C-alpha cells in the first residue's frame, strides 16, 4: 500500500512538473530556449538599446540589432518594439540573418557565432576571425561573408562554417581597414567599406569585388562629388535596383550612390542628436516592402527610421 502511495505521489509530481514547464514555454511567444537571457515580463522590463552597432533583418520582418555595450542581440519589430533579446558572451558586432539563423560576430572571442532565433548558440564558424566587424549572407548560395578589420580581408564561409576563400584574392587590390560589408547576389558582388590608411596615402573608400575576390571597382570618399564625400565609411545596404547606401560614421550621414556611375544620388540624415540626426551611425538596413531605412545611431543610443528612404 505504501508503495502504491509512493508511486501516486511521484506520478502527481511528474504531472505537475510537465504542466508547469508547458505553461512556461507557452507563456510567451517571446522565446525561452537555450541561452536566452530573459523575457519581457511585467516584473522585469526589457532592456533598451544603449549602443546599437549592426543591424539586419529576416524576410519575415524581424530586425536584429547588436548592442555593443550590453552584449545583447535584440530582435525588434518594424515599429522598433522589442520582441526578444539574448545575451552574447562577449562584445557583439556584425549581425546577419541567413538559412534561418542569426550570425553574430563576437569581437571578444574572435569568432562568428551562429544562433537560432530564440538565442540558442548552435555553433561557430570554426575559424578565428580576429575582428568580425560586419557580416553579410547570400542565402541562395549558402555563403557567409565576414569583414575582418584587423586581418584586412573578407573571409568567406558556407553557412555550416566551412571556410571557402578570402577577399581580395591574391594579387588583387588590397583592403586597408575594411569595416562594413554588403553583398549583391544579382551581380555576385561584395561591397566593402574601407577606412583606408593615411600612412599608405590611401583615403577612405568603398571597394567592390566579385565573389571570387577579383577586384572590380573602387570609389574614394575624397574624390566623389563634394556633397557626398566621406571619411569613416561603415555599414552598407543595397536598394532594390542595386544601388547602395553607405553610412559615414564621422559626418552622421547615409549616402546613396548609383552602382553604375558611382555618383552620389541623395543623402539621409545629418550630424547631431535631434530627430533625423545621427551621431556615430554604424549601419544601415532597408526593409524591402516598406523601403524604410533603419540606421543604428550609436552615440544617440537609438535606431533612426527614414520612412521610404530606401526607394530606388
Integer Cα distance of 152 and 172 in angstroms: 13
Element (DSSP H or E) covering residue 130: none
Under the binding rule (CB under 8 A), the answer on residue 73 touching other proteins is no
3-state secondary structure 181-212: EEEECCCCEEEEEECCEHHHCECCEEEEEECC
The region of 27-35, 74-82, 164-172, 274-282 touching other proteins under the rule CB under 8 A is: 274-282
Q: Based on CB atoms, which residue is closest to other proteins, 98 or 196? A: 196
195 belongs to the binding site for other proteins (CB under 8 A) = yes
Residue 44 neighbours by CB under 8 Å, 6+ apart: 38
Q: CA–CA separation, 89 vs 116, rounded Å?
A: 15
- Give the bridge partners for 255, in sequence order: 246, 267
Q: Sort 7 into a burial class: Cβ within 10 Å, 0-12 / 13-18 / 19+.
A: exposed
Give the three-state DSSP class for 232. Answer: coil
From the CB of 128, what's the least distance to other proteins, in Å?
Answer: 15
Name the minimum Å distance from CB 250 to other proteins.
Answer: 5
Neighbours of 43 (CB within 10 A): 4
The verdict on 207 binding other proteins (CB under 8 A) reads no
Q: Binders of other proteins among 215-234, rule CB under 8 A? A: 226, 229, 231-232, 234
Residue 102 vs 280, nearer CB to other proteins:
280
Binding residue for other proteins, selected from 91, 117, 259, 302, defined by CB under 8 A: 91
CB of 307 to other proteins, least distance (A): 25
Size of the site for other proteins (CB under 8 A): 34
Angle at 217 between CA 216 and CA 222, to 5 degrees: 165
Q: Which of 64, 68, 97, 115 binds other proteins (CB under 8 A)?
A: 68
- Our finding on whether 244 is near other proteins (CB under 8 A) is no
- The SS3 assignment for 173 reads coil
Residue carrying C-alpha cell 539563423:
101
Cβ-Cβ contacts under 8 Å for 223 (sequence gap 6 or more): 203
Nearest residue (CB) to other proteins, 217 versus 250: 250
For other proteins, the binding residues in 278-307 under the rule CB under 8 A are: 279-280, 282, 298-299
Indicate whether 69 belongs to the interface with other proteins (CB under 8 A).
yes
Q: Does 54 bind other proteins (CB under 8 A)?
A: yes
Output the nine-digit C-alpha cell for 75.
Answer: 530582435
Site for other proteins in 120-159 (CB under 8 A): 131, 133-134, 149-150
Q: Supply the DSSP symbol for 175.
A: P
Task: Please tell me whether residue 87 binds other proteins under the rule CB under 8 A.
Answer: no
Check residue 267 and report its DSSP letter.
E
Is the link from the previous residue into 222 a cis peptide, with omega within 30 of 0?
no
Q: Determine the interface stretch with other proteins among 32-40, 41-49, 50-58, 210-218 (rule: CB under 8 A).
A: 50-58
Among 34, 59, 198, 288, binds other proteins (CB under 8 A): 198
- Cell of residue 69, nine digits: 555595450
Among 106, 159, 179, 205, binds other proteins (CB under 8 A): 179
| Phi (first) and psi of residue 277, to 5 degrees | -105, 160
The site for other proteins (CB under 8 A) is made up of 51, 53-54, 68-69, 91, 93, 107, 131, 133-134, 149-150, 177, 179-180, 195, 198-199, 226, 229, 231-232, 234, 249-252, 271, 279-280, 282, 298-299
Amino acid at each position: 500500500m505504501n508503495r502504491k502511495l509512493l508511486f501516486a505521489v511521484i506520478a502527481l509530481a511528474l504531472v505537475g512538473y510537465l504542466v508547469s514547464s508547458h505553461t512556461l514555454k507557452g507563456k510567451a511567444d517571446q522565446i525561452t530556449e537555450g541561452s536566452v537571457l530573459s523575457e519581457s515580463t511585467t516584473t522585469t522590463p526589457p532592456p533598451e538599446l544603449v549602443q546599437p552597432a549592426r543591424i539586419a533583418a529576416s524576410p519575415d520582418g524581424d530586425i536584429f540589432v547588436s548592442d555593443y555595450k550590453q552584449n545583447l542581440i535584440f530582435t525588434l519589430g518594424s515599429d522598433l518594439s522589442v520582441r526578444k533579446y539574448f545575451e552574447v558572451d562577449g562584445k557583439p558586432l556584425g549581425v546577419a540573418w541567413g538559412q534561418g539563423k542569426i550570425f553574430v560576430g563576437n569581437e571578444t572571442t574572435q569568432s562568428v557565432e551562429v544562433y537560432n532565433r530564440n538565442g540558442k548558440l548552435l555553433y561557430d564558424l570554426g575559424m578565428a576571425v580576429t575582428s568580425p566587424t560586419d557580416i553579410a549572407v547570400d542565402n541562395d548560395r549558402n555563403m557567409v561573408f565576414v569583414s575582418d578589420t584587423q586581418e584586412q580581408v573578407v573571409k568567406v564561409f558556407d553557412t555550416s562554417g566551412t571556410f571557402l576563400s578570402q577577399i581580395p584574392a591574391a594579387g588583387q587590390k588590397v583592403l586597408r581597414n575594411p569595416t562594413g560589408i554588403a553583398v549583391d547576389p544579382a551581380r555576385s558582388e561584395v561591397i566593402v567599406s574601407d577606412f583606408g590608411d593615411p600612412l599608405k596615402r590611401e583615403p577612405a573608400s568603398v571597394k567592390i569585388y566579385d565573389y571570387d575576390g577579383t577586384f572590380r571597382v573602387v570609389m574614394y570618399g575624397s574624390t566623389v562629388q563634394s556633397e557626398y564625400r566621406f571619411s569613416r565609411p561603415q555599414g552598407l545596404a543595397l536598394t532594390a535596383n542595386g544601388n547602395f547606401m553607405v553610412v559615414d560614421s564621422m559626418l552622421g550621414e547615409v549616402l546613396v550612390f548609383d552602382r553604375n556611375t558611382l555618383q552620389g544620388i541623395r543623402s539621409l540624415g545629418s550630424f547631431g542628436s535631434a530627430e533625423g540626426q545621427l551621431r556615430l551611425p554604424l549601419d544601415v538596413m532597408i526593409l524591402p516592402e516598406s523601403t524604410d531605412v533603419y540606421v543604428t545611431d550609436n552615440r544617440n543610443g537609438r535606431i533612426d527610421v527614414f520612412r521610404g528612404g530606401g526607394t530606388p
